[in-house]
Amino acid sequence: MKSNLFISEQELNEQRRIAADLYREIAPRNLTFFVETFGCQMNVRDSETIRGWLTEIGYSEAAEKESADLILFNTCCVRDHAEKRLMGNIGALKELKDNNPGLIIGVCGCMMQQEGIAKKLLKRFPHVSLIFGTNVLHRIPEMLRAVMNGERIAVTDRANDAIAETLPRLRDNQRSAFVNIMYGCDNYCSYCIVPYVRGHERSRRPENVRNEIESLVSNGITEITLLGQNVNSYGNDGSAGMHFADLLRYVSDVPGLKRLRFMSSHPKDLNEDVMQAIAELPNVCHHVHLPVQSGNNEILRRMNRKYTREHYLSIIERMRTLVPDIEFTTDIIVGFPGETEEAFEDTLSLVETVGFAAAFTFAYSPRQGTVAARMEDQIPESVKKRRLQSLNALQAQKTIENNEKYIGHVGEVLVEGFDERGPETMLYGKYQNFKMVYFPGDPMLLNRYITVQVNKTNKNSLLGEMIHA
C-alpha cells in the first residue's frame, strides 16, 4: 500500500486552525461567496466541499454573483469549448472587480489541472487571484489566507492525489446526497481527458464511505448516490480490501437508507457479482447508467473501451433477466475519428435494440493531449451535427416507447421539486428506477415518498396521480 494514500489528520487540523483564524476576521464583516459549478456530479460534490470550507471560514452564501465578495468558477474540461466560455465569464467580472476592489475572483476544477492553463489565466486576467485544481481542496483555508495577504496563487499540484477525509460540506439538498467512493481514473479511453486532469484511480476505505453515509442518513438524507468515474473498478488497486459488489453489500444496510444509487458504470467491469448485488439488495435502485459510447466494435477498439457490442448487449440481457424492471441510461459519442456511416449505423441499431430510458449524446470533441486528438480521419463538424440529430431523433422515439409501458404503473416517488407555472401545482420526482413522473400535489410533500400511478405520457415525461401519501 502506498504511504501517501491519505492526507494526515495533522495536516487537516492545521487547515482547520487557519479556517478558525480567518473566521474571526471574516465573519464580523458579513462577507459572501458565490460558487458557480460547471460539469459533472464530481464537480457538484467538490463544490459542496468548497462551500463548506468557505462557510467555516466565515463567509455566507450570496444569492447572486453580483453581490458576492468572493466568486469562484468550478470548471470542467471534458467536452465542448469550455475554455473559451470560461475566458468570457472571467472577462465579464472585471467590472465587478473595478467596483469592488476587495472582490476575490477564483477559478478551480478540472480545467485548472490542464497543462499551462493556470499560468495563462493569471497572466491574462489581473483580477483573478486564486486558482486551484481538484486535488487540493483540503488546502482551501491556507490558499485563501495567502490571497487575503495580497498574493496571487495557482495550486494545481498533479502529483499530490492523496485522499482527504472529513472535509466540511455545505449541501442544498435535504433528501439525496452524492458520496465519492473513488477518485481519478485509470482507463484512458482515447477521447477522454479525465485521467490526465483527475489523476490515477484511488478508492476510499469502505468504513469511511459507510461513516459518511451514516452521518448523512442521520441528518435526514434517504437517497445516496455513490460516485466514481468507474464505480465498478472500486478497490481494484487492492487498497480498499473489497470490490464494488461487496461495497454495495457493506453500505446498503445503513438503517434509514431507502435508495442506493451509483454512477458511472463501465461495461468492461460490470461483472456477475455486481449484477447479483443489484438484484439481491432491496434498496439498490434498479437503474444503471452504463455509457456505451458507440455500437461499433472497431470504434470501441479505437476508443480503448475494452468491450465489444456483443458484450455490452449481453450485460443488458443478463441484467434484465435478473431484474425485470431495470432501466438503463447511457452516454454516446458520435463522430469519433474514423467513424464511417456504417459504424454510426451500428450505434443507431444498438440504441434501437437496447431501448434506453434516456441517452446523453455528444459530438466528439478533441481534447488536447489525448490519443484520439492525434488520430487521423477526424470527422467534419457538419457530419457530427447531422449524426447527432439523427441519433437524438431515434432516442426521442425510444423514450416515447419506453414511457408508454408505464401507463398504469404504480410505485413510490421521491418528490424532488414542484412547478407552479400551470393551472395546478405539479410535483415531480423519480421512481426508484430513475423514471421521472409529474403529478398534481402540495409542495409540502417535497422530499417525501409518495405512491403515484401513471395515467398519461407527455412526450418526454410521465404524468400521474397520487394514490396515497
Q: Using CB under 6 A, list all residues that contact ligand 5AD.
A: 78-79, 191-192, 291, 293, 331, 333, 362, 364-365, 367
For 461, the 3-state DSSP assignment is strand
- Verify binding: residue 194, ligand SF4, rule CB under 6 A: yes
At 329, which helix (H) or strand (E)? Answer: strand 327-334
Residues 228-257 that bind ligand SF4 (CB under 6 A): 229-230
- Verify binding: residue 266, ligand SF4, rule CB under 6 A: yes
Question: What's the min distance (Å) between Cβ of 425 and ligand 5AD?
Answer: 34
Q: Name the burial class of residue 450, with classes exposed (0-12), middle (13-18) and buried (19+) by CB atoms within 10 angstroms of its CB.
A: buried
Question: What's the min distance (Å) between Cβ of 185 and ligand SF4?
Answer: 3
Positions of E strands within 83-162:
104-109, 130-132, 153-155
Question: What's the min distance (Å) between Cβ of 194 and ligand 5AD?
Answer: 7
Looking at residue 70, the DSSP 8-state letter turns out to be: E
Task: Map residues 340-369 to x or -, x wherever contact with ligand SF4 holds by CB under 6 A.
Answer: ------------------------------
* Four-point Cα dihedral 238, 289, 317, 282, nearest 10: 80
Residues for the chain: how many in total?
469
C-alpha span between 448 and 412 (Å, rounded): 10
Cβ–Cβ contacts within 10 Å for residue 279, how many? 15
Question: What's the min distance (Å) between Cβ of 273 and ligand SF4?
Answer: 19
Question: What's the min distance (Å) between Cβ of 137 and ligand 5AD?
Answer: 21
Q: Whose grid coordinates read 421539486? A: 417
C-alpha span between 280 and 275 (Å, rounded): 9
Q: From the list 75, 134, 180, 187, which residue makes contact with ligand SF4 (rule: CB under 6 A)?
A: 187
Nearer to ligand 5AD, 222 or 233 (CB): 233
**Whether 60 contacts 32, CB under 8 Å:** yes
331 binds, among ligand SF4, ligand 5AD, none (CB under 5 to 8 A by kind): ligand 5AD
163 binds, among ligand SF4, ligand 5AD, none (CB under 5 to 8 A by kind): none
C-alpha span between 70 and 33 (Å, rounded): 5
At 439, which helix (H) or strand (E)? Answer: strand 436-440
- Verify binding: residue 299, ligand SF4, rule CB under 6 A: no
Nearer to ligand 5AD, 195 or 440 (CB): 195
Question: What's the min distance (Å) between Cβ of 284 and ligand 5AD?
Answer: 22
Total interface residues for ligand SF4 by CB under 6 A: 10
Could you tell me which residues come within 8 angstroms of residue 453 by beta carbon, excluding any fewer than 6 positions away?
408, 409, 410, 464, 465, 467
Question: What's the min distance (Å) between Cβ of 331 and ligand SF4?
Answer: 8
**Footprint of ligand SF4 (CB under 6 A):** 185, 187-189, 192, 194-195, 229-230, 266
